Structure 1
């Protein structure tokens, strides 16, 4: 038997998520690797799955949790054997396939990444999909800047949704590379925290979140945006000639009320960042660079540890914007 959060529909078409005990025989038969989960985490998408505020969960019953890290206990996959330490992000896990907010998981071996040797399972989940996504964003900007000959210190980089997990890791990574990072947040009281991560300046998000002009004063050499909607449109409108924007989220909305003007008059590039179905080589490169480049002390400063039962309350909190940084879940607590 093992503990897990379980999402289900009720007879009256309601929706529940509760802490329960399951038998290992109930794990999905479609997986070929069984993992004893040690750590998981809570992302925005997990909040939606736990609360039912959006149709993230596509089959019932289902264990939520789009991330986990742990140790292989059994494998029919050629790449993995019992004792291997692995992590997983995305691939529909926690949405259409049982996920990581549990003490056991069974998944397809093709979805797994070897845990980098310098990271513990807890470190990996302190990063989770949020940190991995932030790294994919930063790598897209790095490739763009290298091709354009842009050096650190040559201009400001904007990070929106700075108080969230993607934002916090992006700030730490970019600042560690020598960039001047401007953090946009709706919680200016978090300014000291954001500057400790490496932000050179903290701005109120209202200047970006309202409808704006299609072309604005040039400021950013690059942007990491996890917000979408008007915020993304304004970020593009104020990006400097030849700059780049990496878009990975929709906390404000899925819409993009923008103009083509920044793209055809300033040569701005918009990179769409998908972390869910990214190929294995891209995942491995992101995790290796995270393990190499991220200041581990800064990771600890943005991390709060909770137990599996506490994840039920963490879901609504992350949707309400009440969570700073990363929540790492000790599934065995």
Structure 2
């Protein structure tokens, strides 16, 4: 028997409860894992609360991230006792995920736990950190160097945003953090490396097609009018790495930034990112994240506390990363 957070649907309402399950209830997969830690992401919050159409079948164990130890494997790449990490691949949406003491998964979805990290630290990074690293690498690949000018991070108080602020600061960029909770989270964002904090309300006025050029690059986790405003302020031949839609999936902008300033809009996805790209990004995260990140930007909760935290994260009331100890 093992404990799991199970989502069920009754009369179009999603219900979350802690249940005891048996091993034979686990879904098909090559590798069975004893889960040490999972994490709570915005997508998990949408799934658990039912506020977003995330879960494709019920019952479902949520959790798009996990770190744990292999119990048994039918794939030669992993052996009993190996430490592994999973992020993405539709786990926690269409396949039982990490918010359980055990998981059974396809070997192709796993990455060996990077040297220099333990399971808890890996979940302090999780999908959010992996996505942030891919965004930073996208800006670098687009030629956005620290010398080009300041970089904006939107939704900076969230998981992706807080890691992006940290990574960019460690790489020597002049980072400006945009958040809706300046008084509450400004000091933390400053500690993580932001040189300037901007209130989100300053970005909520409709964007003109083009505005004053300010940013060499942007990491956007919000979408909608926040992304439109950022695009209008990007320097000539600047770039925006877009990875989120916490503010909406629409984009009320024009072609002006793209055809008059040569701005690049770079879409970033971590869910289906291939193994080699994931492994390289994880290694860079190990190299770049300072010890202070793990101390400042994370909180640990139990499985029982997850439904309450899920409601909070969907309401924009969670700062940094939430790690779940199994």
Give TM class, smaller chain. Answer: over 0.9
In 2, distance between residues paired with 1:109 and 1:27? 15
The residue number in structure 1 matching 2:162 is 168
What CA deviation, in whole Å up to 9, does each residue of 1:1-60 have, x standing for no partner? 1110000122x443211111111110002x110000000000000001111111101011
Are the counterparts in 2 of residues 48 and 54 from structure 1 also a CA contact under 8 Å? yes
Does structure 1 residue 67 correspond to structure 2 residue 62?
A: no
Are the counterparts in 1 of residues 13 and 50 from structure 2 also a CA contact under 8 Å? no
In 2, distance between residues paired with 1:17 and 1:165? 23
The residue number in structure 1 matching 2:22 is 23
Q: Kindly state the Cα deviation for residue 214 of structure 1 after the two structures are TM-superposed.
A: 1.0
* TM-score normalised by structure 2 residue count: 0.98
Does structure 1 residue 256 correspond to structure 2 residue 254?
A: no
Instruction: Give the match's secondary structure for 1:310.
Output: helix
Which of 44, 47, 51 is matched with 2:45 structurally?
A: 47
Aligned ranges for residues 1-333 of structure 1 at < 5 Å? 1-10=1-10, 12-29=11-28, 31-145=29-143, 150-189=144-183, 190-331=185-326
Are the counterparts in 2 of residues 229 and 257 from structure 1 also a CA contact under 8 Å? yes
Q: Kindly state the Cα deviation for residue 281 of structure 1 after the two structures are TM-superposed.
A: 1.1
Q: Kindly state the Cα deviation for residue 312 of structure 1 after the two structures are TM-superposed.
A: 1.3
Instruction: Give the match's secondary structure for 2:293.
Output: helix
What CA deviation, in whole Å up to 9, does each residue of 1:77-96 have, x standing for no partner? 12111111100001000000
Are the counterparts in 1 of residues 218 and 241 from structure 2 also a CA contact under 8 Å? yes
TM-align CA RMSD: 0.9
In 1, distance between residues paired with 2:147 and 2:158? 25
Q: Kindly state the Cα deviation for residue 200 of structure 1 after the two structures are TM-superposed.
A: 0.2
Mean CA deviation greater in 177-186 or 203-212? 203-212
In 1, distance between residues paired with 2:294 and 2:148? 26
Instruction: Give the match's secondary structure for 1:69.
Output: strand
Q: Kindly state the Cα deviation for residue 299 of structure 1 after the two structures are TM-superposed.
A: 2.8
Q: Kindly state the Cα deviation for residue 163 of structure 1 after the two structures are TM-superposed.
A: 0.5
Are the counterparts in 2 of residues 169 and 299 from structure 1 also a CA contact under 8 Å? no
Count of residues in correspondence between the two structures: 325
In 2, distance between residues paired with 1:105 and 1:97? 10
Q: 1:192 to 1:14 in 2, by over 3 A?
A: closer
Are the counterparts in 1 of residues 131 and 270 from structure 2 also a CA contact under 8 Å? yes
Instruction: Give the match's secondary structure for 2:61.
Output: coil
In 2, distance between residues paired with 1:273 and 1:151? 18
Are the counterparts in 2 of residues 153 and 180 from structure 1 also a CA contact under 8 Å? no
Q: Kindly state the Cα deviation for residue 206 of structure 1 after the two structures are TM-superposed.
A: 1.5
Are the counterparts in 2 of residues 161 and 227 from structure 1 also a CA contact under 8 Å? yes
